[in-house]
A = this chain, B = another copy of it.
Amino acid sequence: MNNFTFQNPVKLIFGKGSIAKLAKEIPADKKIMVTFGGGSVKKNGVYDQVVAALKGRDFVEFWGIEPNPKIETLRKAIAQGKAEKVDFLLSVGGGSVLDGTKLIAAGIPYDGDAWELVLDEDKIGEVVPFGDVMTLPATGSEMNAGAVISNLATQEKFAFHHSFPQFSILDPEATFSLPPFQVACGIADTFVHVMEQYLTVTGVSPLMDRWAEGILQTLIEIAPKIRANQHDYDQMANFMLCATMGLNGFIAMGVPQDWATHMIGHELTALHGVTHGQTLVVVLPALMSVMREQKKGKILQYGERVFGIREGSEDERIDRTIRATEEFFRSLGLATRLHELQIGQDTIDEIVRRFNERGSRLGEAGNITGDVTRRILELCK
């Protein structure tokens, strides 16, 4: 096992009716800015619950943080936060609203332009404390310090890591009315988060392996039930718990990580606005194929333990495991090929150009270069 340091201070408040517990998590003297997405929380009752919980408190609202939150939008929120002397942020929405709020939290006390903080997290100094009501299980942002921000002007999408939420409130009932495509992408995003921390080499930590496999097995078990009935409280609760546990460091202790699928997927979003989870399921099976020699032992273990694939030669089992992975993604109703998303050769060329320009060397072994990325993307066509 590799040496590691782990700390995750987030207070999770989980379950039916938990939004009502909101106010006592925020000190009474705080000037709060509540951040929102496009307005779905007004339809599903979450907005009303939040306003009821904040009754008598000093708060302003900022609306309009979009999926793949844009620096252009967040600059406006930062300006409002500075003007109103906001000293607590409450994100109400999905991972994009929360990711955006993480940058707002760092941007309010910062004198320069907030995009500089995305490009260089060492520039982040003081941060406005923040919490969240999470309504879309997917990113795991509710229990980690990361955020991914997009820049429309430069068509770029980058991650930064700095501050944890002080608390995260997760009420599975808030997920009942989500669009099924968003739920499918959330399941896919969670699945691939786990794969990024798991599908590297064997034998480093049997416990972390079992825990990663446990999330994957659970997702495969609950996905069809959720697709059949999004109002099944227990299944949506299981999904929320998987999403949070999938990217909070719990399965990453002492093990190597990959993240190449995410890096390639971010480019597809940056260039075409494709939903994040949807990009991942296009890239992952192809990446598994191209990296099959290096990842051989782990693909075989994953195939056996997660899909029960035990018969045949190693090559046959690897083929079947990659196919089973793609079939699971298709069972979610998602596309798994670039042409289904109307993405063509020019995008492949542009991504490879960018990776070559940046000198990217991705993956657990640092050997997924621009040229390897081309082989992966050619396989996704």
Contact yes or no, A14 B3, CB < 8 A? yes
Whether a CB of chain B sits under 8 angstroms from the CB of A215 is: yes
Residues of B within 8 A of A242 (CB): 207
Stretch at the interface among A37-45, A233-241, A324-332: A233-241
- Residue total for A at the interface (Cβ-Cβ under 8 A): 40
Residues of B within 8 A of A17 (CB): 3
Residues of B within 8 A of A11 (CB): 5-7
Stretch at the interface among A63-71, A95-103, A154-162, A217-225: A217-225
Which of B9, B207, B217, B218 is the one whose CB lies under 8 Å from A9?
Answer: B9
Whether a CB of chain B sits under 8 angstroms from the CB of A12 is: yes
Residues of B within 8 A of A253 (CB): 12, 14, 241
Whether a CB of chain B sits under 8 angstroms from the CB of A201 is: no
Residues of B within 8 A of A217 (CB): 206, 210
Which of B2, B13, B18, B214 is the one whose CB lies under 8 Å from A207?
Answer: B214
Q: Which of A61-107 contact B (CB under 8 A)?
A: none
Contact yes or no, B9 A4, CB < 8 A? no
Contact yes or no, A7 B2, CB < 8 A? no
Residue of chain B at shortest CB distance from A3:
B15
Contact yes or no, A12 B18, CB < 8 A? no
Whether a CB of chain B sits under 8 angstroms from the CB of A189 is: no
Contact yes or no, A13 B9, CB < 8 A? no
A376: min CB distance to chain B, Å = 30
Residues of B within 8 A of A222 (CB): 206
Please measure, in the bound complex, the distance between the C-alpha atom of A136 and the C-alpha atom of B222, giving whole angstroms: 38
Residues of B within 8 A of A15 (CB): 1-4, 254
Whether a CB of chain B sits under 8 angstroms from the CB of A267 is: no
A53: min CB distance to chain B, Å = 16
Whether a CB of chain B sits under 8 angstroms from the CB of A16 is: yes
Q: Which of A8-31 contact B (CB under 8 A)?
A: 8-18
Residues of B within 8 A of A230 (CB): none
Which of B210, B237, B250 is the one whose CB lies under 8 Å from A1?
Answer: B237
Please measure, in the bound complex, the distance between the C-alpha atom of A245 and the C-alpha atom of B218, giving whole angstroms: 19
Contact yes or no, B254 A237, CB < 8 A? yes
Contact yes or no, A238 B207, CB < 8 A? yes
Contact yes or no, A8 B8, CB < 8 A? yes
Please measure, in the bound complex, the distance between the C-alpha atom of A234 and the C-alpha atom of B13, giving whole angstroms: 35
A227: min CB distance to chain B, Å = 16
Whether a CB of chain B sits under 8 angstroms from the CB of A307 is: no
Please measure, in the bound complex, the distance between the C-alpha atom of A11 and the C-alpha atom of B16, giving whole angstroms: 30
Contact yes or no, B241 A14, CB < 8 A? no
Counting chain B CB atoms within 10 Å of each CB, the highest count among A14, A207, A214 belongs to A207
13 residue pairs of the A-B complex, CB under 8 angstroms, read: A1-B241, A2-B15, A4-B14, A4-B15, A5-B13, A7-B12, A12-B253, A205-B237, A206-B238, A207-B238, A210-B211, A210-B218, A211-B211
Known: A1-B14, A1-B15, A210-B215. 6 other contacts (CB 8 A): A3-B16, A5-B11, A8-B8, A14-B253, A207-B215, A208-B241
